[in-house]
Amino acid sequence: MNYESASYKVFKAANITFLSVLVFIMVFPFLNVLALAFNDPLDSQFGGITIYPRVFTLDNFKLLFANDEVIHALWISLARVAAGTTIAVLVQFACAYAFTLKEVAGRGAILIFLIIPMYFNGGLIPTYLIYSELHVSNTFWVYILPVSFSLYNMVIIRSYLYTIPDSLGESARIDGANDWTIMTRVYMPLSMPIIAVMTLWTAVYHWNDWTTTLYYVTDHKLYTMQYILMQILKEGERVAKLMEEALMKNITVISSGQPHITPQAIRAANIIVTSLPIIIVYPFLQRFFVKGVTLGAVKE
């Protein structure tokens, strides 16, 4: 039986109390939005909603998904996350593997050349002109190609690869394997923790980003869910349009002569829809997270 001193017991109790309060402070806003999303909009106007709905309803989500543009934007966001994350992780891992090869000449000079844009860049207008000249502006690829490489992520992956014994790659090379085979058959299976971390980071970026749509996309068919959310948060007309389309599809938005759906309720429902996928995915990758970042950040 482990002995715990009185001072340690006091510290542990204070630590648990402090962390519990901190968790509550961080989680409460999301639970409040969740309660508003599932609460009757007319009842929400009276205030007093905390972390659970007082009058449960699904009307807010029914109205949100009655809009065809919202559904299409959701599919665009999902496609962007899937394609963008896959391509980015593959490109960054391949570059990190290349930087671990001793026979690659000029690795230091190339790395310095890649570091410079981390501190200096041309700004928004030159970037917009480059995208236009490359004909990726106002296309789906504007979400994928410009962010397919991240030097920061690549360096972390490279540091992780240094923890894998060189003898494994050398043995595979003696057996006739080329670099692609060594990377995919030897290094990748041993690098799942860091791959999981990079997958999470990249997926969160793609899912949350709306500025790319704002700057480089004018085609409504390419709008992402997050950009639609931004418009709903800022434009009352967007909420009115959602209510109008819901009425056309026989979804009740009028009750006793008063609006049954309020802008606040639509915003809460949209926030939940855009936040929930990341919240669901994160627990499955959490066990890799600390291990991947720790091993990838330190080289003995």
User: What domains does the chain contain, in order, with CATH numbers?
Assistant: 1-57 (no CATH), 58-297 (1.10.3720.10)
pLDDT of residue 104 exceeding 70: yes
Average pLDDT for residues 289-296, to the nearest whole number? 54
Digit-coded pLDDT (tens) for 131-142: 989 889 899 999
Least confident of 5-14, 74-83, 178-187, 243-252: 243-252
SS3 readout for the chain: CCCCCHHHHHHHHHHHHHHHHHHHHHHHHHHHHHHHHHECHHHHCCCCCCCCCCCECCHHHHHHHCCHHHHHHHHHHHHHHHHHHHHHHHHHHHHHHHHHCCCCCCHHHHHHHHHHHHHCCCCHHHHHHHHHHCCCCCCHHHHCHHHCCCHHHHHHHHHHHCCCCHHHHHHHHHCCCCHHHHHHHHHHHHCHHHHHHHHHHHHHHHHHCCHHHHHHCCCHHHCCHHHHHHHHHHCHHHHHHHHHHHHHCCCCCEECCEECCCHHHHHHHHHHHHHHHHHHHHHHHHHHHHHHHHHHHCCC
Is pLDDT larger for residue 282 or for residue 161?
161
Residue-level pLDDT at 255: 44
Over residues 275-296, mean pLDDT:
67
Mean pLDDT rounded to a whole number for the chain: 82
pLDDT at 244 over 90: no
Tell me the average pLDDT across 270-277: 81
* pLDDT per position as a tens digit, 193-228: 889 889 988 998 999 899 999 999 998 899 998 888
pLDDT band at 1 (very low <50, low <70, confident <90, very high): low
In angstroms, the CA 24 to CA 19 distance is 9
Q: Is the pTM of this model over 0.85?
A: no
Give the tens place of pLDDT for each residue, 109-151: 888 888 888 787 778 888 889 998 988 989 999 999 999 999 9
